[in-house]
Structure 1
Amino acid sequence: MMKIKINKIGRILLIICLTVLASCSDDFLDVNDNPNNPPTSTPKLTLPVAQQQLANLYGTSMMYLGQYFAYSYAVPSNWSANGDLLRYNVTNTFYTNIFESSYADIFKNLTFVEEYADPQGVLDYSSYKVITETLSGFQYQYLVDLYGDVPYSEANQRGGNTTPVYDNEETIYKNVIDSLTTAANLALNIPSENSENPGDSDIILHGDMTAWAQFANTVKLRMLMRMSNSGQDSYIQEQIALIDANGAGYITDNISANPGYSQNADQQTPVYGYLGYQSTGVETDRHDFTVATDYAIDLLDSTNDPRILRIYTGSDNADELKGVNQSINLPGEGFTSDDLSAVGPGILKSADQDQPLMLLSEALFLQAEAVTRGYIPGGDAVAMNLYNQAIEASFDYLEAEDAQTYYSQAIENVSWASSSDKIEAIITQKWIALNGISIEPWIEYTRTGFPTDLPTSVDGGNRRPIRLLYPTSEYSRNSDNVPPTTTEDAFTKNPFWK
């Protein structure tokens, strides 16, 4: 994995920049911005702020929500926590920061960078445009996946329009796909003269434009695979042909952010500080009340998966790999946080670890699926090779051993040859590879229904949410445009690609 190399002074200065600029964030959709007195900054200062805001949202709220709805985590009997998650209590006040932070922070800063022009009219900022287009596409995909119609064409205009219209979800998807195509092509054709490269101000890929083209291509492929059941095969094939035409291919390493995370207070990697330990080394409450589900432990154990000791830990009391069902009413004896498996060292590596945004394993699984569905040529042998490489990449990220021994077992959804439904095998293995890392397992379950035996929470009414509801703040501030929703929509209103 690519690591940032920042000297001590540079790290301090960067963190100061991140802290100061992030503290200037205005309210949701910039309602309180004065358009006659906009904030003053530069792309080099604002870009890492936007990237860190995205990494923080993705590595905390989005990840945690996805893991609960994908049945990876549960609550032990000695805690009363996460009641709304366990009850599937999706309302207009549930996880609203995903919607609000996207517009108030991430898109706001990305838009500033994208629209910035050199006051002297000398420097070219095409490299920054590549990055902002890619990251905006990355996050807009999730907003459509989670909410459906959202503000797009009229959004992010600061004080110019505080009540943007909501655009059609499929229209947004296809516009984003086009913007990712543009970003990838631009990345490979940056003007050679007077071009400003962000360098280490880019805390994700350090200004490597080929790598950004690959990232844009891979986000686009993920969106196309989301659409694979929507009856638009010809469109998908046309778009993959455009990926092939730019020649950059897909990501070849994990995509992650790191502005100089450290053990110091408020400077830890988002997932580590959120789900693991404070800067003092004391565990967070969330670490104590987040434990493995019985389903996850049973699946990993029954398939002899060495990653089990990296995804989860042995219990404190008996060093036992033990999970429990998702319920707000667990029995007390034998089901406390000391009796159950916690989040493992392959997920919580260190306070200064990179914050993942897209793992190489996910990219390889996407390619394996595209080959299996006939969108990418190669047939079964190529798909199997990509599938095996994806599992190996997962083992590498988690620092587990013996990937080949694992996927050579004649077990359904482990060995390619032994799997009767190749798409089921791919998605099941993706569920494992992204355990504790991503929101993807929940969204992919919505799309595919895999893993087929994934339970629901005991207190969730035997049905799993498939989307989120618009925040209450939107009904207050943009009531003429926000679509009406009911709590039932969270369980019945499928994304357009379903």
Structure 2
Amino acid sequence: MTTIHIRYKWLLFLLVIVTGISGCKKFLDTNDNPNLASNASVELLLPSVQAAIGHALGNPLQIHGSIWAQYWTQNPTSSQYRSLDQYSVTTTSFDRPWRMLYSDAIADIQEILNLTQGKAASNQYTAIAYLMKAYAFQLATDAFGDVPLTQTANPAITNPAYNPQQQVYDSILAFVDRAISLIDVDAEVHPGSDDLIFQGDMEQWLRFANTFKLRALLRLSEVAPQKAAAGIATLNGAEFLEDDAQIEYSAVGGNQNPLFSEMLGLSRVQNMVASETVAKFMTQNRDPRADVFFDRYRNTAGTIDSIIGIKQGSYRTNTRVFSLPSAAVGANGRNDQSANAPVKFMSAAESYFLQAEAVVRGWLTSGQTAASLFRQGIRASFESYNVNGVDTYLASAPAAQWPGGGTEAQIRAIIIQKWLAMTGNQGFEAWTEWRRTGYPDFFTVSLATALGDERLPARLLYPSSEVTRNVNFPGIRQIYEPVWWDVD
């Protein structure tokens, strides 16, 4: 848990990714403001932070989330993720995401805040840093529960105390509010190509802040509904994301999607295949997104040409009939186009679904109905992947119909559509929303479960690095123990 500044591996990565997305902008362009000259390192720290979070989000958390959200399951012809499929993970499985979030991201975020403290010219960097801090801590606490928070700002503290999850969420919301107070959409000085997500567009960052605050408050819907309602009421009239907040990758210079990069390191072995849970649901609803998120299985006789999934944990069977995740979500090791798949921090579809739920609950006043926002979420999901047929889907798919059965039925419809939109591209968030709401309510227990009952994973385990080294480690948790906001 010591501060680790920009590492050589990140410098190599960032030199490629920043120049790759900058277009006509110069690398590290900050509008050539001399007031920022002494803070040049923030221009490297910011993309380092974003890349670290993107790597955690797009690789280990994407794999765990997408298997446990029942988008993917272990390929019967390989073995890399069998332990995930049978819920038999160990503490060593989580050293990487913990390190990525704490040593790689949160430590560098604090360095940005230290460098920009009291310097008004750096306010836009400070605002983005606070948003990344909120985002990183939400990932950490949603994954592990109680986590170190207040003592992480001091690198001299090598055994930071753990803070209760409720306190972590209070701080997350405070970080977002601090960012909102600093954002100036007309600021002359702001990041440029060193901002991997929005390239310094502060209007987009303000929308991100509002949308993320809505996400964080809705996470409290079951454990602290009055607090959630009061917080969401402050967002009445706010503008939310209408575009995906994401990092884009390419096949050039080792700048691949982080999941595909790992698959290359595993000699392109295809460990993930389509889960029957999502494939069957999409097929029943004639969802054209299925052909974007998965590749069709085609046999040599030409008698099968469809999206086919297998049951969770069926890797012990001899089946060879299944579809693979597509290159669009970076999960097909046999297709080099996987290198180009983005990592989504938040999507436009998610933004609309969050608003729809808040309106249904009576917590957000909007110029649109919940039904309209629900349909816009579906449209945004289709548009994000250039999928045709959204009008037909909205008119005929059972899952796309707005229910008239009251609040709970409407929340169920919203979350299931959110789950569909996040197929293979926001796996951790989809699994987290299932933990919060219980939807989708048709998940199946792995055929290979090691839990011996109907329990499903409800958290990540604390990493072995904390178990063995941090004297303030709060104790082992079981994979089926819910986190604080998961009250069902």
Q: Normalising by the residue count of structure 2, what TM-score does the alignment of the two structures yield?
A: 0.84
CA–CA distance in structure 1, aligned partners of residues 412 and 443 of structure 2: 12
1:378 CA displacement: 4.9
1:357 alignment partner, SS class: strand
- State the alpha-carbon separation in 2 of the partners of residues 78 and 241 from structure 1: 51
Aligned to 2:3: none
* 1:216 correspondence with 2:209: yes
Note if contact 1:181-1:217 (Cα within 8 Å) is conserved in structure 2.
no
Q: 2:436 is paired with a residue of what secondary structure?
A: helix
Do the aligned residues in 2 keep the contact of 1:197 with 1:207 (CA within 8 Å)? yes
What's the secondary structure of 1:492's corresponding residue? coil
Q: Which residue of 2 aligns with 1:31?
A: none
In 2: Cα distance, 1:289 partner to 1:410 partner: 31
Residue number among 306, 330, 333 corresponding to 1:320 in the alignment? 306
1:203 aligned partner: 196
C-alpha contact 2:162 2:473 (8 A) present in aligned 1: yes
Q: Name the structure 2 match of 1:93.
A: 92
1:441-456 to 2 correspondences below 5 Å: 441-456=430-445
Contact 2:233-2:363 at 8 Å conserved across structures: no
Structure 1 residue 91, shift from structure 2 partner:
2.7
1:287-436 alignment, distance < 5 Å: 288-317=270-299, 318-327=304-313, 329-332=315-318, 335-336=319-320, 339-348=321-330, 351-378=339-366, 382-409=369-396, 411=398, 413-417=399-403, 421-436=409-424
Over 3 Å counting, the alpha-carbon distance change for 1:265 and 1:406 in structure 2 is: same
Q: Is the contact between residue 130 and residue 184 of structure 1 (CA under 8 Å) also seen in structure 2?
A: yes
Give me the whole-angstrom Cα distance separating, in 1, the residues matched to 2:66 and 2:149: 27
The letter of the residue matching 1:428 is I
Residue of structure 2 equivalent to 1:252: 242
CA distance in 2, matches of 1:389, 1:419: 20
C-alpha displacement of 1:405: 1.6
Shift of 1:75: 2.2
- Give the residue type in structure 1 aligned to 2:167: T
How far does residue 443 in structure 1 lie from its aligned partner after superposition? 0.9
- Secondary structure in structure 1 of the residue aligned to 2:329: coil
Query: Cα gap change, 1:331/1:469 in structure 2, threshold over 3 Å: closer, same or farther?
Result: closer
Query: Secondary structure of the residue that 1:213 maps to in structure 2?
Result: helix
- 1:441 maps to a residue whose letter is A
| Counterpart residue identity of residue 179, structure 2 | A
Cα distance between partner residues in 1 of 2:258 and 2:315: 30
Deviation at 1:342, TM superposition (A): 0.6
AA in 1 matched with 2:141: V
Residue of structure 1 equivalent to 2:429: 440
- 1:22 — aligned with what? none
Matching residue of 2:142: 145
Q: Is the 8 A contact 1:271 1:355 kept in 2?
A: no
Shift of 1:128: 0.7
The letter of the residue matching 1:155 is T
C-alpha contact (below 8 Å) 1:213/1:248 kept by paired residues: no
The aligned runs of 1:170-209 (5 Å cut-off) are: 170-188=166-184, 196-209=189-202
Secondary structure in 2 aligned to 1:116?
A: helix
- Which residue pairs with 1:67 in the alignment? 66
Aligned pair partner of 2:163 in 167, 173, 179 = 167
In the alignment, residue 15 of structure 1 is paired with which amino acid? Answer: L
Coordinate RMSD, CA, aligned: 2.7
Segment of structure 1 superposing worse, 181-190 or 107-116: 181-190
Q: 1:175 to 1:76 in 2, by over 3 A?
A: closer
* SS of residue paired to 1:435: coil
User: 2: distance between equivalents of 1:403 and 1:68?
Assistant: 27
> 2: CA distance between counterparts of 1:122 and 1:365?
37
Does the CA-based 8 Å contact 1:310-1:400 persist in structure 2?
yes
Contact conserved, 2:359 with 2:370, CA < 8 A, in 1?
Answer: yes
Tell me which residue corresponds to 1:467: 459
